[in-house]
Amino acid sequence: MSDTEDFFAKLEREDKAFLDLISTAKDEELYGVLNLDGAAGNSFKSSSGEERTRFTFAAWKSRDGTIHTDELYVEMLLENGPETPIYPYKLIHVRARLALHPCGELRGWASEIVNKNYQDDELKALIPVLKSPVTIEDPQFGNFKLNRSVGWFEGTLNEDVELSLQAKTKKQFSALLPTAQLVVNNLKIWVEDAKALAVKELLETYNTGWRDEQSPTLKENQFKDTLLLTSISFHDCGDHFVLLFDAQDLFTHHSVSVPCSLKSGCIEAKL
């Protein structure tokens, strides 16, 4: 079984375990501020085949009145979700069950959106804070800024390589930082391995399918030399990260992407 298959099998196991926990939890009334994504009613299919939708509270209040500023990820069946989009930073009231997801964070399963125009002065007062810029200064990598539109902290490595961590909070950023440090400290090895895999999986594809008649056939070292590292992105699913290379027009403006993991090394090279 490949590393990619292991990853999706893990997600399926975690989803089932979470739903088992939710089935024994009690319904709660939750009140929250939607994050930048809002609640658009977009659907996705779960591992069990259900059509679901999801949204995230940037801040929320539990039934005892406690305000939480850690984000809360909530899923629900699509048929119970909003019929029209609910815009970012709107306050809503949902009926949901909470449980600790196997990934280690509290998550919710909503059965109903009770009120799409909820009013709460305490939560409303948090909105300007939630919209304000979030920056982190790291002694090794320098400054990172949260791009709220995609949920990533973004920075640069040596001014020419983008460095991104899939995190929406400083706590999530800190959890990914050790992986980023380990990879960057051994970056030369990772880049060499990624380029070797790209040669194995894409060189023939270029020479036989993408190369125009006026261009020479490339050898392994020539192909490697065209690949310039442009970004490293660290995902929130454990030790997975992606090296992205500029192929300098070999594939008509397509970049070469190499997903990797600390456990399995470079997994594949793809356009």
Q: Is 113 left (phi over 0), alpha (psi -120 to 50) or beta?
A: beta
Predicted pLDDT at 236: 81
Residue 193: count other Cβ atoms within 10 Å of its Cβ: 16
Q: pTM of the prediction?
A: 0.69
Amino acid making up residue 197: L
- The answer to whether residue 198 scores a pLDDT higher than 70 is yes
pLDDT higher at 1 or 182: 182
On average, the pLDDT of the chain sits at 88
**How large is the average pLDDT for residues 236-255?**
87
* Strands 240-246, 51-61: pairing kind: unpaired
φ, ψ of residue 105 to 5 degrees: the values are: -120, 150
Summarize pLDDT for 213-224 with one digit per residue, the tens: 888 888 999 999
pLDDT-based confidence at 1, cuts 50/70/90?
very low
Q: Write the DSSP string, 140-195.
A: TTEEEEEETTTTEEEEEETTTEEEEE--SSHHHHHHHHHHHHHHHHTHHHHHHHHH
Summarize pLDDT for 96-133 with one digit per residue, the tens: 999 998 878 899 999 999 999 999 999 999 999 888 88
- The answer to whether residue 74 scores a pLDDT higher than 80 is yes
- The answer to whether residue 41 scores a pLDDT higher than 80 is no
Q: Is 202 left (phi over 0), alpha (psi -120 to 50) or beta?
A: alpha
Do 270 and 242 contact (CB within 8 A), yes or no? no
Residue 72: count other Cβ atoms within 10 Å of its Cβ: 21
**How large is the average pLDDT for residues 187-207?**
94
Q: How far, in Å, are 4, 13, 55, 188, 239 from residue 9 at the CA level?
A: 9, 6, 23, 31, 16
